[in-house]
Structure formats: structure tokens, C-alpha cells
A and B are shown apart, each in its own frame.
Chain A
Amino acid sequence: MISKWLKGIKSSLLKDRVLVVSSFFVFFVFFMPVCAFCLGESGVDGVGSALESAEEAYFSAYLSVLEAERVGGDVSGLVARLNFVSRFLENGCRAYESGVVDVAVFSVGKALEVSDAVERDAVRLRDAAELRGEVLLRNRLVLSLLLVMVTVLLGFLGWFLFKRYYVRRLMGFRPEVIVDES
């Protein structure tokens, strides 16, 4: 009797499993095209918005490079990398317009990656250049002041010594006595 009961439970569990699996199957069959459509659509739209984000990252990196240059940083390396980014963006844009999504995704990803890296490097360069500029200016000011003081002191010393020599030389001249025989 127990075995019959167990068999009954097993068969009912089996039936439930079959019911659940077949429900999923039906769901998939009818709704998969819709899901695929949505996924496909959001994939393309995703690339479009990723392109916009990549472009914003590119402009942001460019502005950081400008800031670094204005405080005296050497930005030639950063500019070269950003020019590569613009090529990736162009390729991504063309691929997106042509519907070649994987190329677009790759190009956009590369553009974002390099733009972010350039922006970080530009900020570091700006901070280092600002510090270097302050130190350089301070050193120049101090050196200039010291040299001016030394010049003035040497000038006074030189004038004092020259004056002594001049007066001594002048005092060493014997006056010539001219006898008037008239």
C-alpha cells in the first residue's frame, strides 16, 4: 500500500515536473522572438548610447589635457593617444551606421578605455606640472634676489676699494713747484 502511495506521489511529482517544463517550453516558443527582438533592439540602442558616452569621455579627456598643458605639462603623448581615440570613434560610428554591431562595440569599448586612461594621466600630469611650476618660480625668485644682493654688495666693496686706491694714488703725486723768476 505504501509502495502504491509512493508510486502515486512519484507519478504526481513527475506529472508536475512535466507540466512545469512544458509551460516553460510554450512560454519560450511564443515569447522568445519578442525577447530576441527586445534584446536585439536594446543591443543596437545600447551601442548608440555607448557611442555617445564614448564621445563625452573623449571630450572630457581633451579638456583635462588642455588643463595640464596650461600649467606647463608636456601633453604631446596624451594628444597622440587621443587622436587614436578619435579614429576608434569614427570606426565605431561607421560600423554602427552600417549595422556591424560587434565592430562598433569593440571600437566604442576601446575608445572609452583609452579616453578614461588619458584623462587619469592628464590629471596626474597637471598636478605634477603645477607643483613643478611653483617650485621653479620659487627657486628663480630666491636665486634672483640672492644674485641682486651679491651684486650690490660686490658693487659697494668694489667701489670702496677702488676709491681707496684712487685717493692713495692721487696723494702719492708730488706737487711740482714752479719758480717764477720774474
Chain B
Amino acid sequence: MNLDDWNLVFVSACLVVVLVVCAPVALAYLPRRGEPFMALALLGEEGMAEKYYPDDDPNIEVGERVDWTVYLYNHLGETRLVAVRVKLLDSTVSAPNSTSSTPSPAPVVYEIRRILLDNETWLHPFSWSIVDADGGDFRIVNMLSVNGYDSEVHAVSGDGDSLRMVFELWVYDEGLGEFRFGWGFGDELRCAWNQIWFNATSVQSRASTG
């Protein structure tokens, strides 16, 4: 190697060292990781994606307890206050719309609030039962008990129509000063919701089918 080649080696080595030295300052201004999101899921009685109904039977009697677990994960890049709003829907009420990020118009039966740190996962037990329902071919569910609290509802199940428990994820928006269904991503609104179907049944109708 002649002197010019050695010159090139020295200059390259200096440049590499300068870059390494400036890296800590540059790293502080690097853009954040990928798309921010939140995850909402429902798990069965053993904390897994199975055994959602007692004895795997979706026909729920009055007084029969159903145990689920609500799973939440925050990947929005910072701490967020969220609310999971639980609603009981029958066939006459529309479900949330993911395209327009519109919640269901049904009243809230139960609400879970939590502040989640960035990258935090949280599990919350959700036990519910039908407290009061009118009998006959059409079962009208009048009251649910959720985690020990009774809530009045009005949902009709019958003639092949099932009921569904819908879980909507609402995020507190600082600009609006209130909870909003979903979270903002650029100019768009993203949302997350879950639903589980079941039938409200009576002991007599269960016995007749069994």
C-alpha cells in the first residue's frame, strides 16, 4: 500500500469513530417504532381462548355464572386511560361499526376503567349471570349481575335469535376531555371491540331439548 492508500484508511477510520461518538445524540431524535395500537381480547374461564361457557354450552340459565377474563394491551407509545364498556345486545340493536369507528347504541351494562402504561398487559376477571328474565318462547332478560353488581337491561332472546355481550374499548381523549370509541392514528380513527354470543334459556326448555 502506498501513502495515498494509507491516507484513505486514516480518513475512513476517523469518520467511523466520529459517527460512533455522535450516535448517542442522534439516537435521541430517531423516529418512533411502527403503528401504535391497543388490543382487547376475551379469554375463557381458565384464562385461555376456550371454555367460554359452562360445560361448553352457550345456553345460559338464569342464575348460572359465566367466568371470562378481559385482556388489554397498550402499544400506543405512552400511558393511556381506557374504559371497556360492556353492552348486552339482542337482534334489534346494531353492533359497533369498525369501518366508521361507531359504537353500539345499546346502553352500558358495566364499565371497566384502567390506566395502562406503555407496553403494559392487564387481565381483569369478568363474572356475570342472568339475575332476572321473563319466561316463555321469547326470553326477555331484565337484569344482569356483573362482578357482583346488578344492572337493569332489556334484551330479547328467542325464535332463533341469540344475545351477545359486546365489549367496546374507549380511550380518553385529552383534546375532547372525554372518552372516545377508539384511538387516533394520523387522520384516521381505529377501534377495537369484541363480542360473544349466547342464548338465555330456562331450565324447562333445556330439559326439553336435552
Complex contact A155–B114 (CB within 8 A)? no
Complex contact A79–B115 (CB within 8 A)? yes
Would you give the shortest CB distance from A173 to chain B, in whole angstroms? 14
Which one of A109-117, A145-153, A174-182 contacts B?
A145-153
Would you give the shortest CB distance from B63 to chain A, in whole angstroms? 21
| A-B interface contact total, Cβ < 8 Å | 62
User: What's the interface size class on A, roughly?
Assistant: 20 to 34
Which one of A44-52, A124-132, A158-166 contacts B?
A158-166
Is B203's beta carbon under 8 Å from chain A? no
A14 to B24, CA, bound (A): 92
Which one of B15-23, B32-40, B125-133, B158-166 contacts A?
B15-23
A40 to B114, CA, bound (A): 33
B16 closest partner in A (C-beta): A151
Is B205's beta carbon under 8 Å from chain A? no
User: What's the interface size class on B, roughly?
Assistant: 20 to 34
Complex contact B21–A66 (CB within 8 A)? no
Known pairs A63-B174, A166-B3; A144 contacts B24 (CB<8 A) = yes
Complex contact B10–A158 (CB within 8 A)? yes
Would you give the shortest CB distance from B178 to chain A, in whole angstroms? 9
Which of B22, B114, B115 counts the most chain A CB atoms within 10 A? Answer: B115
Known pairs A144-B25, A148-B21, A163-B3; A70 contacts B78 (CB<8 A) = yes
Given contacts A69-B79, A151-B18, list 12 more A-B pairs with CB under 8 A.
A62-B81, A65-B115, A76-B117, A79-B115, A83-B115, A141-B25, A144-B25, A148-B21, A148-B22, A152-B14, A155-B10, A158-B10
Taking beta carbons and an 8 Å cutoff, which residues of A are in contact with B? 59, 62-63, 65-66, 69-70, 75-76, 79, 82-83, 86, 90, 94, 137, 140-141, 144, 147-148, 151-152, 155, 158-159, 162-163, 166
Taking beta carbons and an 8 Å cutoff, which residues of B are in contact with A? 3, 6-7, 10-11, 13-14, 17-18, 21-22, 24-25, 28, 78-79, 81, 113-115, 117, 149, 172, 174, 177
Instruction: Please list the 9 inter-chain residue pairs (A to B) with the smallest Cβ-Cβ separation, ordered nearest first.
Output: A155-B14, A147-B21, A151-B17, A86-B113, A159-B10, A79-B115, A140-B25, A144-B25, A62-B81
